Structure 1
Amino acid sequence: MSNTTAFDGVVGDRMNRVDGRLKVTGAAKYSAEYQIPGLVHSALVGSTITKGRIKSIDTKAAERAPGVLAVITHLNSPKVPGFAAKTNPDEPPAIGQPLRVFYDDKILFNDQPIAIVVADTLERARYAARLVKVQYTPEEHRTHFEANKQRGFLPTQAKRNPKSAQNDYDRGQKDGYQTAPVKLEAEYVHTSEMHNPMELQSIIAHWEAPDRLTVYDKVQAVKGTQKAFAKDWGLPEENVKVIATFVGGAFGNGLHNWPHETAAIIAAKVTNRPVKLMLTREQMFTMVGYRPYTWQRIGIGATPDGKLVGITHESVGQTSTYEEFTESTLQQTRMMYTSPNVSTRYRILGLDISTPIWMRGPGEATGAFALESAMDELAHLLNLDPIEFRLRNYTEKDPDNGKPWSTKYLKECYQMGAERIGWNKRQMKPGSVRDGDWFVGYGMGVGTFGANRRGAKASARLLANGNVVLRSATTDIGPGTGTVMVQIAADALGMPAEKISFELGNSTFPEAPSQGGSATVASVGSAVVAASTALKQKLQQLGGASFASAKPEEIRINGGQITLASNAAAKVSYADLMKQNGGQEVEVIAEAKPGNERQQYSMYSFSVHFAEVRVHALTGEVRVSKMVSCADAGTIANQKTAGSQMIGGAVGGIGMALTEGAVMDHRFGRYVTKDLADYHVPVHADAPHIDVAFVNKPDLLVDPMGTKGIGEIAIIGVAPAITNAIFNATGKRIRELPVTPDKLI
């Protein structure tokens, strides 16, 4: 992806997206849209039982169908070198090992891929897939979370590592909340949420040679995917190329490599043709992860004047039987509020379902629903305003590790949000405000997520026409990564943004981490700053004596030459620079890594979300009539794209609170919500005007731009803000998401 339209703008401006025109005109090319000579199509066959073995599989009719090139099952699939068998049958489920597709006859979840059909057209592939006949030896399955909750176990990684954040944790007295004069115990349930971005999961797999693989894949990590497939197939990393120039939305499902990807790669090897595979919407519910069903219990206590005495937070989250998935459900409880006694207990429950995966705000959003609901409930028992209760337990340093915050402007978020939502209209007594048939209520919830930064590299090339092209192997799942990187480079280079382009989504580019964990701007942006600085230093070296003593920040790149801000007479043309560079365009690669500040400071982004809701007195219908989301996220690189991030997170939180929830028929272990008719993602009618406010104060301990991530805090705390507002409106406390009308009638 590159900047193809002229824009003005540097860090902090509301700069338009550099790829906006490409997207709205259809010129942007997504993973399933590449045209490769000899391309063929494929379709997956999924199991119709939930647990057991394949007794027989008849593919003859499918193989004889028109246009069919291959039908691949566990009986004839080439072996994937990285799919090593377990030598110990008692070995626990793998950590981060995707399902080994077409490996054996075992069925581990419903709709597990058991065959792939390759044909010359998509229609023929799908038709032939329906001709595959399978007989099974079924076994009793376990998919019901509540019926099996007692089977939860400590994750293997916690057993192996005493310092793991998943281990049991006690600060102060264990279960110290029990000694509090005022206390509350409550259970909270968060049902599974499914990944439903606009673009379906898709891949084109192409063996360009027996030992050289190229994939056009919908992923959030081109380098991570390159490493994974290289390991699976025993190839040098440089022999695997991953392209993901445009990604049509992702909320974490692109952070893992899934069975359908390997199935397509196997099919391409068998047919010696480039193979395209795009999942159906129904398969998105079973094959590419989801936010796991999670049970939580909180015990919380305080003194009558509102000082926390203790919090105990327990959680059980579901995973598959073949892979251990964990997330940070309890982290916010450990560090958000001043409490002398904090205990956390985390367990996972292996069920006969596919593996969950991180979903925006991952475990922190789930944990915040319970914690922020419990804080609201306890504030009500204490007859305290929920904001005042939080302020009485405000932390000036991280209570989890004793470190000072790099920056923390959460109080400013409280103030901004309260003013904008009209918090003064909130009544302490629930059900006090009514507008005709509608009860009106106000609620708030706090979110936090680590201000993460990882090592990254970027290249910068000065072209003969005076443009600068930067490259890094990051991706853009929608937040506007390319736009912000152009702005950062314009600042660092001191040149117009329209002269700069940023290319990404290609594993041959300099190393970059996955786009996940709210770390892209801090990580890749720092590399862009480093590459821009290195380019100036290189130009300084090539510029000759008049530039020798100059500082890099004095160099200006414009008008066909480099000049000095302090000496307009000093100038060298691009042609002369390239002559000095052996006739080559000037290019540098630079790396940026976080320093040791993270050993000295605790680094987090913070958010506060406020909701005004209306609940119909007769039908129980809930409407979110107004929302305000406030963020302490360091320097805001682009007010427009950052604002869109916050709005998108708030809409996702509305879905989490009110509409989204997967429903399974446990008799068969199969989801009955398997399309967008039955699984309700929030639409325009569900989303009110969402007001966004940023503190916009830099945190230069995190990165040289002073930024902190906002992708996760945009949703963390939204769901409890809405459920707390529902309580304020009706006096009914709903502790199981989503809050559908039947729970309020």
Structure 2
Amino acid sequence: MKKQDFFNLEAVEAMDRVDGRLKVTGAARYSAEFPIPKLTYGVLATSTIASGKIQSLDTKKAERAPGVLAVISHFNAPKIPGYSEGSNPAKGATTKGQPLRIFSDDIIMFYGQPIALVVADTLERAQFAAGQISAQYQKADFQTDFDGNVSHADYPAQAKNRNSTGDYVRGEVDAYKKAPVKIEAEYVIPTEVHNPMELQSIIAVWDAADKVTVYDKTQSLKGAQGTIAQAFKIPAENVQVVATYVGGAFGNALRTWPHEIAAVMAAQKVGRPVKLVVNREQMFTMVGYRPYTWQKVSLGATADGKLVGISHEVIGQTSAYEEFTEGTVNVSKFLYACPNVNTSYKILPLNVSTPTWMRGPGEASGAFALDCAMDELAYQLNLDPIELRLRNHADIDPERNLPWSSKYLKECYQEAAQRIGWFKRNPKPRSMQSEDGMLVGYGMGTGSFSAGRSAATASIQMSADGTYTIQCATTDIGPGTATAMVQIASDVLQVPADKIKFQLGNSSFPKAPSQGGSSTVSTVGSAVTAVCVSLKQKLAALAAGQGESAAVKPADLVFENGKISSKDQSINISYTDVLKKHSLPSLDATEESRAGAERQKYSFYSFSVHFVEVHVHPATGQVRVKRVVSCADAGKIINQKTAGSQVIGGAIGGIGMALMEEAIMDNRFGRYVNNNFADYHVPVHADIPHIDAVFIDKKDPYINPMGSKGVGEISLIGMAAAVANAVFHATGKRVRDLPITPDKLI
């Protein structure tokens, strides 16, 4: 049983999703759908000011309404034991801040902040009663206007603790200024809201005075378990978190939000299970969003297109009570070979709720600015945008000065360019038209994201009937995690996939990290590989441990098609017969897997390129995306179908980012005016053409046993730039503030 035999996905064909039938038939059960006896319903009432104090709260009508069990506010909320630790952000907190502590005081810090929770015996009664609550406020000055307050931006406290500014410098600061060819441009990303189909939801059930079960929409089972345990000061093992299915998240379920604590609190207070589902309007203010971000990218190059300097300045929005930071400047540090790079990242506190990570967190925003600037530089140099990137290809990681674990970005450029017909275009802006008179443009963008791997544990049980159950406390927000894990296990065990069940979505299973950051397959897949190898070793020891076969070494055994054999055929036995011979009803194993010293020797990243063809109406400025080719360098692809779906989904998200998505703030009131699906536009089927998802599909030799790197983030990172660059090629107009709406083109 040699190491190279453990994994051979080349022989595995793409599988349909193991949970596909459950999902399309409606049998899959999401967090708000569990049939809990004596269930009650919670509805949040929210503030109608952006800053100030609650002077009075009239809840009498709500309390007297039919079916109401409780109205909870800061006046009567049970004390959350964990809230007593640390400073309260509402009482003289520093800019470091902390998460909102719901119903802990009378301070209002943003419009739509929860001020009360109604619990009733039906949803409709809870909604009616919540509408009967009225508040009187002592209003305070507030600021939600990013542009009007940008001078107040400052470095994050964490960065200032590292050095005086938190800036990154490699080589000479602002070296671009000395270059013969320069680009200086400012770019804006508006606030963008996750808006998955499934609303944020939770059902909280207290099983005992110190024991609670929550059915929660979360990407982090262990994270939610720890947060709830800390807040209510109960043992973590007494908190069970269930998230069997998650209907999209994009990052907004990576942390435990105040509404979740409120539901657990309410269930404790009323002594019955409480279901709380955040409504669509509240999704804009209670569960994070991509923050409004201003960027300035300055590039300097020689006349033949070699980069001399990159300067990247960023100011990102955060809340007035909690710092949020993300990796907006990250790509500028390593994506292109450049001796002189300096970046600056500041945050601007405003009277808004706290942002959070959104797919391609920070890097998606940063790559838009960087790759649009690269496109501008290419046109100024009269150089093909691909050629400019090839001349500045980073053969090693310039930030860490380490070799890449693997990198096939050049192959991505070549494959995607050929597929979309890049070299057949006329490179001159506004030079191409379709037969129906539309302006035609081609654009491209590059994406990259860290290929992470952390620690995870998996358990397996083989039953005497030849079925296998694997458990791990990971979640699945849509990429097909269970399917990939079944494929991995099938390949390692050499048994049919339909004999394997992968169970996830429960915090009582062996530990796993959050599903986020494009690291789940790498991390959990490594644990699944390890536990399957462990099971094979146990089977080998049992098979080689008696009779004439006792002299056979387990390492010399071959596993194939559910059988164990030796070269001399003294052993030729099925896995199930091994258990029968030893009178074992089952065989178990549990293994942890984590990254090793290779993380210090190599730089691990996934890469992508996106090519887009757009048609723009010359009179109205309407933009239609006609073709998309996305090519990913993500190591060995475990499942072409599910990975392809991720790339398509990311491309759609990038098109929405480029052309549609924007949460619009009315700064007179500090309130979003398009906080609904009618006015906040996201791509629909009519907006999206065929998307050609392509993979280089070559193993990374160092990252994990499968050789697989993450796909989720790179499927979006760089896409918005590709669309914007295509629009410029079509129209000759450079739009640097997203989204690119018709009014900006006419």
TM-score range, shorter chain: over 0.9
SS at match of 1:362: coil
> Is residue 266 of structure 1 aligned with residue 265 of structure 2?
yes
Aligned residue for 2:693?
692
Cα displacement string for residues 260-295 of structure 1 (whole angstroms, at most 9, x for unaligned residues): 101101110000101001111111111100000000
Which residue is 1:31 aligned to? Answer: 31
Task: Please report how far the alpha carbon of residue 322 of structure 1 lies from its aligned counterpart in structure 2 after TM superposition.
Answer: 1.0
* 2:3 equivalent in structure 1: none
Structure 1 position 64 matched with structure 2 position 64: yes
CA deviation after TM superposition for structure 1 residue 566, in Å:
6.3
Match of 2:449 in 1: 449
Amino acid at match of 2:300: G
Give the aligned residue type for 1:667.
R
Q: 1:174 deviation in Å?
A: 0.6
CA distance in 1 between counterparts of 2:683 and 2:346 reads 31
1:74 aligns with 2:74: yes
- Cα distance between partner residues in 2 of 1:610 and 1:565: 52
Q: Residue in 1 aligned with 2:155? A: 154
Change (3 A) 1:151 1:587: same
Judge conservation of contact 1:458–1:510 (CA < 8 Å) in 2. Answer: yes
- Whole-angstrom CA distance in 2 between matches of 1:514 and 1:214: 19
Q: Distance in 1 between matches of 2:378 and 2:560?
A: 58
CA distance in 1, matches of 2:268, 2:556: 52
SS at match of 1:713: coil
Structure-to-structure mapping, 1:46-445, within 5 angstroms: 46-84=46-84, 86=87, 91-94=93-96, 97-162=98-163, 167-435=166-434, 436-445=436-445
After TM superposition, the structure 1 = structure 2 runs for residues 461-476 of structure 1, keeping only pairs within 5 Å, are: 461-476=461-476
Q: How far, CA to CA, are the matches of 1:722 and 1:652 in structure 2?
A: 12
Shift of 1:572: 6.5
Distance of 1:381 and 1:391 partners within structure 2: 17
- Alignment check: 8 A CA contact 1:57 1:134 kept: yes
User: How far does the alpha carbon of each residue in 1:507-529 deviate from its partner, in whole angstroms, 9 at most, with x for none?
Assistant: 00000010000000000000000
Q: 1:35 to 1:93 in 2, by over 3 A?
A: farther
Q: 1:513 is matched with which residue?
A: 513
Distance 1:580 1:108 in 2: 66
- Contact 1:460 1:469 (C-alpha < 8 Å) held by counterparts: yes
Q: Distance in 1 between matches of 2:585 and 2:106?
A: 57
Which residue of 1 is the match for residue 500 of structure 2? 500
| Contact 1:437–1:618, Cα closer than 8 Å, also in 2 | no
Give me the whole-angstrom Cα distance separating, in 1, the residues matched to 2:58 and 2:561. Answer: 68
> Which residue does the alignment assign to 1:704?
705
Tell me, in whole angstroms, the C-alpha distance in 2 between the residues paired with 1:227 and 1:333.
35
> Is 1:728 matched up with 2:716?
no
- Say yes or no: does 1:647 pair with 2:648: yes
For residues 682-714 of structure 1, the C-alpha deviation after alignment (integer angstroms, 9 at most, x for no partner) is 001111111111100000211110000000000
Distance 1:66 1:472 in 2: 44
Task: Report the CA distance between 1:397 and its aligned residue.
Answer: 0.4
1:577 to 576, 579, 592: 579
How far 1:425 sits from its partner (Å)?
2.6
Give the distance between the partners of 1:235 and 1:483, measured in 2 at CA: 35
Structure 1 distance, partners of 2:599, 2:185, is: 35
Instruction: Write the distance in 1 (CA, Å) between the matches of 2:556 and 2:634.
Output: 26
Aligned partner of 1:148: which letter? N
Change (3 A) 1:38 1:416: same
Per the alignment, residue 4 of structure 2 pairs with none
- Cα offset, 1:91, TM superposition: 4.3
Q: Indicate the residue corresponding to 1:4 in structure 2.
A: none
Counterpart contact for 1:10–1:490, Cα < 8 Å: no
C-alpha displacement of 1:549: 3.7
Structure 2 residue matching 1:167: 3-state secondary structure = coil
Are 1:743 and 2:720 an aligned pair?
no
Deviations 1:154-211 (A, max 9, x none): 1111122349xx9201111110000000101110000011011111100000111010
- Change in 2 beyond 3 A, CA 1:431/1:330: same
Separation (CA, whole Å) in 2 of partners of 1:181 and 1:141 = 45
Alignment size in residue pairs: 732
Looking at structure 2, the residues matched to 348 and 56 of structure 1 have their Cα atoms a distance apart, in angstroms, of: 34
Contact 1:41 1:121 in 2 (8 A): yes
1:310 Cα offset (Å): 0.4
Are the counterparts in 1 of residues 564 and 571 from structure 2 also a CA contact under 8 Å?
A: no
Displacement of 1:352 in angstroms is: 0.5
Measure the CA separation in 2 of the matches of 1:494 and 1:301.
55
Q: CA deviation at 1:542?
A: 3.0
How far has the Cα of 1:133 moved from its partner? Answer: 1.5
8 Å Cα contact 1:309/1:339 also seen in 2: yes
SS of residue matched to 1:263: helix
* Residues 121, 521 of structure 1: alpha-carbon distance in 2 compared, 3 angstrom cutoff: same
Following the alignment from structure 1 to structure 2, what is the Cα–Cα distance between the partners of residues 295 and 147?
13
One-letter code of the match for 1:567?
Q
Q: Which moved more, 1:211-220 or 1:419-428?
A: 419-428
**Is 2:460–2:590's contact at 8 Å kept on the other side of the alignment?**
yes
Aligned partners of 1:554 and 1:566 also within 8 Å: no
Specify the alignment match of 2:458 in structure 1: 458
CA contact (8 A) 2:442 2:729 kept: yes
Match of residue 681 from structure 2: 680
After superposition, what is the alpha-carbon deviation per residue over 1:416-453, rounded to whole angstroms, capped at 9, x for unaligned? 01101110232221000012431001000000000100
Gap change, CA 1:604 and 1:87, over 3 Å in 2:
closer
Aligned amino acid, residue 108 of structure 1: M
Identity of aligned residues (%): 59
Residue 662 of structure 1 pairs with residue 670 of structure 2: no
User: 2:556, 2:200 → 1: CA distance?
Assistant: 44
Say if 1:219 and 1:247, in contact at 8 Å, map to a contact too: yes
| 1:450-599 alignment, distance < 5 Å | 450-543=450-543, 544-545=545-546, 546=549, 549-551=552-554, 554=557, 556=559, 567=569, 569-571=571-573, 574=576, 577=579, 580=582, 583-599=584-600
**What amino acid does structure 1 have at the position aligned with 2:398?**
P
SS at match of 1:704: coil
The secondary structure found in structure 2 opposite 1:281 is coil
Cα distance in 2 for partners of 1:649, 1:548 equals 54
Deviations for 1:120-150, whole angstroms, at most 9, x for unmatched residues? 0000000000111111111111001111111
Query: 1:60: how far off?
Result: 1.1
- The answer as to whether partners of 1:536 and 1:552 remain within 8 angstroms in 2 is no
Letter in 1 for 2:468: V
In the TM superposition, residue 90 of structure 1 has moved relative to its aligned partner by 5.2
Q: What displacement does 1:568 show?
A: 6.8
Q: Secondary structure at the match of 2:135?
A: strand
Higher alpha-carbon deviation: 568-577 or 496-505: 568-577
Q: Which residue does 1:6 correspond to in 2?
A: none
- Aligned-residue offset at 1:574: 3.7
SS in 1 for 2:362: helix
Offset at residue 10 of structure 1 (A)? 7.8
- The 2-side partners of 1:359 and 1:266 are apart by 28
In 2: Cα distance, 1:422 partner to 1:575 partner: 57
Task: Assess if the C-alpha contact under 8 Å between 1:540 and 1:547 holds in 2.
Answer: no
- Seen in structure 2, the aligned counterparts of structure 1 residues 685 and 574 have a Cα distance that, compared at 3 Å, is same
CA contact (8 A) 1:466 1:557 kept: no
